[in-house]
Each structure stands twice: as structure tokens, then as C-alpha cells.
């Protein structure tokens, strides 16, 4: 079986990108150790605990692994980028979280691909999405899907960076693809556009200091967001796309044909979000990545976004949030009220 065969089967499973990498350690594992040691993982313990060592070698996940089938699934939809969107009363949710949770969709596609491969040859295998301890961008690069840009996203020359990654570790020996050249050139637009200066020099080019990244601050961080960073969050209530929005390779990025990725709630009103009860929050975002931030974490983000909009109409919602039973929500709402003065 060849890499070309793999691509044909992957396309049958609705993956736009596919390639093959050898199931062996990659040079970036040393960079990852440095990244963790520098504290850039923040409070994401799952990236720095014992599972960090598992990332050293994919055969820690499947001892019989000989090849890694890497796939990419587009999720771009025909909606404006955050950098071209002006809605002062509206909240911004990262593009990847607009529709159904990608973990389920990518996993289903990989299960189909796994079944097709097994029809051709007996093998051992393991399906991985981004929850598995695997340096997936590095293997996707090795498989020819794209290069790793200065914003640390994998960029494909034809498709840009709006795609999810998934992997299928297999015991088959398949001739691997080759990584493409880095085509960022001298461009530093993502670095200059980051409101919190989260893209910093690293061991191999540039990396992300998660502790300053809006995605980390609005999704992964529990409790209080550092006050000096709150204003830079703007209207973001879940994640951030700015470093991808300004990337020249995304100017003509293709659109997905996957209906599950179409927005359920595009740029919802901040007032509506601030009024949500916990059950309403769960119902509104059920089956989407937004639930990862949890109810009170989401309200904390809404309070920050309303404060940054500086609109008098947000005074009443902020006063209500300031009476929240959650200390972080209440504290951020009180801070927001000060911003309105």
C-alpha cells in the first residue's frame, strides 16, 4: 500500500488532506521539552505531567506502530473573519467551535478509514484526535500536510490553516511522504496582530506562550484572568482566531462541505449570553466545544467582553453578574463595572 492509496481512501472518508509519516520520534520532541520547561503550558497540566513523556514516541501509544496516517478536515465556513467583524454588542466565538464538536466528526472519519484499510490488509491500529499524547502537528508536517507557521498552526499552501488534524497509527509499513518547505518567508503579520503578544521566540523559530494566549485565557484558565491582559481579550468569549485571520495563506481558504461545522450561534448577543442560566448554557452549546470552558468560566468571559465594549447598556447585566455565586464571575463583573465609569 502506498501513500497515494491512503490519500484516495482518506478522501472517501471526507478528509481533504492526508499523508503518511513514519511512526518514530520527531526532532520537535526536544522543542516540546523546552516549551514545557519554560512554563508555556500554563495550568494545562495534561501537557506537562507524565503524559509529556508519552509524546516522545508514538510507539508508546501503539507498540506495533510503523506508520502514522495523518489527515486534515476543513472547517472554514462563509462567515467574516474576526478581524473584519464589527459587532460591538456581539460576542466572538472561535471559528472551530461554531458547529458540532470536531472530535466526534474526525473520529468517525478515522474509524471509516480504519475499516477500509483493514479490508485490504490485516493490521493493528489506534485512532488519535488531539486528546491523545501525540505531537500531531509535527507528524502532519512530516506527512506533507503543511508547514508549521510562526503562529504555530499547520499551514497548507492550497488550503490555509482552517483544518482539524487526526491520526491513525498503523502497524503497516508504508513509504512516507515528505514535509513541504516553510513558506512563511519574512511575514510576521500573526506576531504583530496578536493583542497579547503571545507569539514569542522559541527553540525552533516561534512558539506560543499559552499564559498570554486569548484561547488559553478564555478556555483553559480557571479562576481569574490576569487584569493586565483583560482589555486585549476584546469581545472574545471562547477562543481566538486573530493569528489565523491575518495569515495571507487564509485569504483564499476553501470552504468546508461538512454541514456539522456550520454555525449554530454565530456571534451571539452579549446580553443574551449574560442572562443564560446554567441549563440554558448547556442546551445552547450542547455538542459543541464551547462547553469546555464550563458555565461559570463562560460567564467570566462574557463579563470581560462586556467591560471591553464600554457600553452603558451592559451596566445592568454586569450588576447581575456581580452578584453571582461564583467568585471569579462576580470579581470580573465588578471590574467590568469600573470600566464603564
pLDDT digits (tens, 9 = 90+) for 258-288: 999 999 999 999 999 999 999 999 999 999 9
Nearest CA-CA partner of 213 in 53, 34, 329, 44: 44
DSSP conformational letter for 152: S
For the stretch 328-341, pLDDT in tens is: 999 999 999 999 97
Nearest CA-CA partner of 103 in 277, 275, 273, 288: 288
DSSP conformational letter for 280: H
Give the three cell numbers for residue 310. Answer: 464600554
**Where are the domains positioned within the chain?**
3-78+99-170, 191-340
- Average pLDDT in the chain: 96
Q: Residue 121 and residue 269: Cα distance in Å, rounded? A: 52
Active site residue 5: no
pLDDT at 180: 97
Q: Residue 307 and residue 339: Cα distance in Å, rounded? A: 6
Range 91-112 average pLDDT: 97
What is the distance of C-alpha 11 from the center of its chain? Answer: 23
Nearest CA-CA partner of 334 in 311, 306, 296: 306
Q: Residue 257 and residue 255: Cα distance in Å, rounded? A: 7
DSSP conformational letter for 127: E
pLDDT at 322: 98
For the stretch 37-73, pLDDT in tens is: 999 999 998 888 877 788 999 999 999 999 999 999 9
**The model scores a pTM over 0.85:** yes
Maximum Cα–Cα distance across the chain: 69
pLDDT at 111: 98
Question: How confident is residue 18, by pLDDT bands cut at 50, 70 and 90?
Answer: very high
pLDDT at 53: 82
Catalytic residue among 5, 57, 114, 130: 130
Amino acid at each position: 500500500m502506498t501513500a497515494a492509496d491512503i490519500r484516495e481512501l482518506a478522501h472517501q472518508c471526507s478528509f481533504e488532506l492526508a499523508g503518511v509519516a513514519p511512526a518514530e520520534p520527531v526532532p520537535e520532541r526536544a522543542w516540546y521539552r523546552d516549551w514545557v520547561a519554560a512554563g508555556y503550558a500554563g495550568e494545562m497540566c495534561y501537557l506537562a505531567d507524565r503524559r509529556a513523556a508519552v509524546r516522545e514516541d508514538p510507539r508508546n501509544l501503539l507498540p506495533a506502530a510503523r506508520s502514522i496516517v495523518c489527515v486534515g478536515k476543513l472547517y472554514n465556513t462563509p462567515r467574516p473573519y474576526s478581524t473584519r467583524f464589527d459587532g460591538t454588542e456581539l460576542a466572538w466565538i472561535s471559528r472551530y467551535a461554531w458547529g458540532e464538536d470536531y472530535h466526534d466528526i474526525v473520529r468517525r472519519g478515522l474509524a471509516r478509514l480504519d475499516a477500509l484499510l483493514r479490508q485490504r490488509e490485516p493490521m493493528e491500529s489506534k485512532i488519535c484526535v488531539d486528546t491523545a499524547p501525540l505531537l500531531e502537528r509535527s507528524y502532519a508536517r512530516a506527512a506533507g500536510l503543511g508547514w508549521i507557521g510562526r503562529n504555530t498552526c499547520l499551514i497548507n499552501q492550497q488550503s490555509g490553516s482552517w483544518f482539524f488534524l487526526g491520526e491513525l497509527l498503523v502497524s503497516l509499513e508504508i513509504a512516507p511522504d515528505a514535509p513541504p518547505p516553510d513558506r512563511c518567508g519574512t511575514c510576521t503579520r500573526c506576531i504583530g496582530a496578536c493583542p497579547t503578544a503571545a507569539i514569542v521566540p522559541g527553540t525552533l523559530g516561534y512558539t506560543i506562550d499559552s499564559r498570554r494566549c486569548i484561547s488559553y485565557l478564555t478556555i483553559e484558565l480557571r479562576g481569574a484572568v490576569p487584569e493586565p491582559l483583560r482589555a486585549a481579550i476584546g469581545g472574545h468569549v471562547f477562543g481566538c482566531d486573530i493569528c489565523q485571520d491575518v495569515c495571507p495563506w487564509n485569504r483564499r481558504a476553501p470552504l468546508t462541505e461538512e454541514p456539522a461545522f456550520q454555525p449554530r450561534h454565530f456571534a451571539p448577543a452579549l446580553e443574551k449570553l449574560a442572562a443564560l442560566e446554567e441549563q440554558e448554557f448547556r442546551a445552547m452549546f450542547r455538542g459543541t466545544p464551547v462547553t469546555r470552558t464550563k458555565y461559570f468560566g463562560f460567564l467570566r468571559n462574557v463579563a470581560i467582553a462586556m467591560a471591553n465594549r464600554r457600553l452603558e447598556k451592559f451596566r445592568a447585566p454586569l450588576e447581575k453578574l456581580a452578584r453571582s455565586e461564583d467568585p471569579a464571575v462576580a470579581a470580573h463583573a465588578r471590574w467590568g463595572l469600573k470600566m464603564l465609569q
